[in-house]
Amino acid sequence: MDRNLRPESSTSLRQWRWMRALLLAIAVTGIGAATAIPRAALAQAEAGRSMSVPISPTAPERYVVKKGDTLWDISGMYLKDPWYWPEIWYVNPSIRNPHLIFPGDVLHFSYVDGKPRVSLEAASAMRLSPEIRTSDLDGAIRAIPYDLLMDFVGRPSLLDRDQVRNAPYIVGMRDRHIVGSTTNEVYSRGLDNPAAGMRYNIINVGEQLRDPDDGDLLGYIGHFAGLGEVIQSSGAVVPGKDSIFDMRREEPLTHMHVIETGREIMQGDKVFPAQAEIGADFVLSEPSNDAILGQIVAIVDGIYVAGKYQVVAVNRGKRHGLAPGNLLGVFYRGEIVRDRFDRQNWSAFTANYDRVRLPDERSATVLLFTVKDRMSYGLVVQSSQVIRRGDFIASPRYGHRESGSTNFTR
């Protein structure tokens, strides 16, 4: 892995942390009165790089939240880098859960003690009652488009080692079939007596995913093999482990009818619920590990490149300080070019050329939604060019300026 990626100097990092702590303290305590600052002052501050939060010059002073909005899109209207959103979000103590935004709510952009703030005006005075917002996610604006993740979660395309080891699996086919397809019936082992009519995705375990740093196994590529609908659950008679004369015990088997196939179904294919839950919404944040450095190790569906709203896997996880909601910058590797010009005579070519490595440039931002021990899955929420396996991942603080290039010292 390229170790040229380096964080900012310790002095600038301390200043950045101090500023962030100050901003968050002001937001939580509500110190100071909101005062409007002319747009010219904003532009001047941006030009002088005196602000730690990159405000968009087109940030609206008032915005009414609409159904279908996402927090990432809304943040992008106010910030050049949406992951800074928690730093400008003004915590309103009158609202039970200030992290939630609902359609009809009004966002106001202003300044508190000279610092940018976005405050929330609920759509109705009744919305301020704790009884109204008892269900956190009912109707709330989510951080990212969750419908884009449902196919990935329900039909997992990337499997970690625990999923392959512990997930229920196809143990056999009816009528002595070797492979299963549409209209066939299959039996799954390991499901907990599901009700008739429930549906499960059948996933074939494919190629291994290994950490490019040390070669350790991280997981596997998953291929959609089929969709099964439960007919019934019953017990199977299984001989004891010590000898064939031992008393027999029963283990539940699930009888399923295959109603859709993507490829042949094989014995040993894994079984996952077709209606999987993603879980709680995410709070946009940076990794706790400032020096995080890893690589893209896989792209969903086994394709070679990824773009916006596609899922990727990275070779970093909980043990490296990552958590759901963290954002990572993606950087493509700088190409090696041949400098054929003679420095003494710039118009002439030379056979003794230099090999020059171009900078590693910022290409995308990924939001992590599932974090395992050594591997994480993320959704590409912003991209300026295609993402490839082997691209670097690092803190979102790198390369967040308009140029898109990295913000570190080589």
pTM of the model: 0.70
d(CA 291, CA 13): 11
In 45-173, DSSP assigns E strands to 62-64, 106-112, 115-121, 158-160, 169-173
State how far Cα 331 lies from the chain centre. 16
pLDDT at 234: 76
pLDDT at 34: 30
Residues 6+ apart with CB under 8 A from 286: 83, 326, 327, 395, 396, 397
d(CA 373, CA 321): 10
- Domains in the chain (CATH in brackets) are 32-146 (no CATH), 148-273 (no CATH), 293-394 (2.40.10)
Walk along the chain (410 residues) in steps of 10 and give the mean pLDDT of each run. 44 42 37 32 36 80 89 88 80 65 87 85 53 50 80 83 91 83 88 90 93 92 92 70 57 90 92 79 84 91 81 94 92 82 64 78 90 92 88 82 44
pLDDT at 270: 95
- 328 in helix, strand or coil? strand
pLDDT at 17: 45
Hey, what are 170's tokens?
């196809």
DSSP-assigned letter for residue 29: H
Note whether 352 and 406 are within 8 A (CB).
no
Note whether 263 and 224 are within 8 A (CB).
yes
The HSE-up count of residue 39 (CA atoms within 13 Å, CB side) is: 6
pLDDT at 250: 66
Hey, what are 105's tokens?
């709510």
d(CA 76, CA 212): 33
